Amino acid sequence: MPPLLTFFLITLAALLASAIFFHILVRLGSFGQRACDACAKAPLLDIIVFYFCHGPHIAAVVVWSRSSITEPDWISSISGLFTLLAISIAAQASTLVLWSWFHEALNPGIRKGPRIVSTLNRRVGWFRNHAAVWWTALAVPLFTLIRIAEIFVYPPLHWLVRLPKYNTAEWINISRQKFSGLVGYDLIWCLYCDWMTGVWSLGSEMLRNVESFWCPIKYTSPEKCEKCCIDFPDIEGGWVDAKGNIADVAKVLEEKYPGPNGDNGWFGHPSRANLTIEGKKPKH
C-alpha cells in the first residue's frame, strides 16, 4: 500500500475510533457519565480538542521527520511535509463527514425533521451554507493559540501583579451535546461554537484585567470607545479621558487597585463587589 494512503487510513481510523470511544463511554452507566462530564470541561477538554484538531498535524510532522531515513528523495523535503499535512487535514475532514453520516443514520427521526443545517440550506443555499461553515474551521489555530496563552501566559500575571485567578472549567466547557435534536453536522458545529465561545470569552475577561491595570486611558476616537465599551466596560467605568494627563492616570491606579494583598481585577470584576473607594462602590 502506498505510504501516503497508509498514513491517511491510519489517521482516519484513529480519529473515528476515538469518536466511537466517547459514544461507548457515555453508555457505561454512572461511571461513563462522570467520565464524559469530566471530559467536557477543562483541563481534559483541552487535551481532547488538541488531539482531534492538531494531533493529525503533529503525526504528519513526526512521519515527515522520521521518513528522511528511508525516503530522502521526496517525503523528507518541504513539499513532502506539506503533502503530509494536507493528507492529515483530509483525514480530519473525512472523519467529520463520516461521523456525521453515521450519527444521522442512527437518528433517522431527527435527521428527517426540522434541523439547523436543512433550514439554513434553504435560506442561503446548500453550497453557500456548507462552504461558509467549513471556512470557519480556518479559525481553529487562532483559538488554539488563544487557549495556549490563557494556560501559559496569563497565570504568571496572577502571581506577579495579582490579576484575578479564574476557574477555567467555568468557561472552557461544552454542553450542547445534551441539547435534544442536535445530530450530525448540527451537533459537531454547535460543539465547535460551544468551545470557541468559551475560549474567546475567557480571553476577553483576561484582557479586561490587562487593559485596566496597565492602560486605563480612553481612546481618542469616540467611535472606538463606543464600540469597545461592550467588551471593556471600564472605558466608561473609570478610564481616564483622552484629554486628561498622566497624573490623572496615576490617580486612577492609586484609587482602583488595592495593591499586592488583593485581586487587581478590572474595575467591574466580581471580586470588587465589596470593595469601596472613597466610600463609594465602584461602577459595574
pLDDT digits (tens, 9 = 90+) for 200-217: 999 999 999 999 999 999
Residue 275 banded pLDDT, cuts 50, 70, 90: very low
Where b means 16+ CB within 10 Å and e means fewer, 94-110 reads: bbbeebbeebbeeeeeb
What is the reported pLDDT for 284?
40
Q: What is the pTM of this model?
A: 0.88
What is the reported pLDDT for 66?
79
Task: Say if residue 282's pLDDT is above 50.
Answer: no
- Please tell me whether residue 71 adopts helix, strand or coil conformation: coil
To the nearest 10 degrees (0 to 180), the angle between helices 184-214 and 78-105 is 120
Closest CA to 172 of 142, 145, 203, 141: 203
Task: Say if residue 274's pLDDT is above 60.
Answer: no
What count of residues does the chain have? 284
Mean pLDDT of the region 126-134:
96
Task: Say if residue 163's pLDDT is above 80.
Answer: yes
In angstroms, rounded to a whole number, what is the distance separating the alpha carbons of residues 206 and 280? 25
98 grid coordinates: 463520516
pLDDT (tens digit per residue) in 75-104: 567 788 889 999 999 999 999 999 999 999
In angstroms, rounded to a whole number, what is the distance separating the alpha carbons of residues 246 and 227? 24
* Strands (DSSP E) found in the chain: none
Task: Say if residue 120's pLDDT is above 90.
Answer: yes
**Average pLDDT, whole number, for the chain?**
90
Calculate the CA dihedral of residues 185, 186, 187, 191 and round it to 10 degrees. 100
- Report domain extents, the chain: 1-106, 215-272
Question: What's the half-sphere exposure (Cβ side, CA atoms, 13 Å) at 178?
Answer: 8
